[in-house]
Amino acid sequence: MANRPAIVTKTEVARSIAAAIAAGLKIGRIEVDHRAGKVVIFAQGQDDAVSRNPCDRLLR
């Protein structure tokens, strides 16, 4: 396998986090999709609105 440049770099993630904090957002979770090149930052307390699996609620 040949080395290839990263679609989402560490610098981009750090800048996104710094921008969210500067805007006053309290970060609850960060998801990075390397295939799509997407960084998603969820606010604190937003985890209940976006549930991945119904069983996750039962296990809490």
- The answer to whether position 49 is within a domain reads yes
For residue 56, give its domain range.
28-60
- The answer to whether position 47 is within a domain reads yes
Pick 9 or 48 by higher pLDDT: 9
* Domain tally, the chain: 1
pLDDT of residue 23: 95
| DSSP-assigned letter for residue 32 | E
Half-sphere exposure of 2 (CA within 13 A, CB side): 2
- The answer to whether position 50 is within a domain reads yes
- The answer to whether position 21 is within a domain reads no
- The answer to whether position 4 is within a domain reads no
Using the predicted structure, report yes or no on whether residue 47 has a pLDDT greater than 70: no
pLDDT of residue 4: 80
User: pTM here?
Assistant: 0.67
| DSSP-assigned letter for residue 5 | -
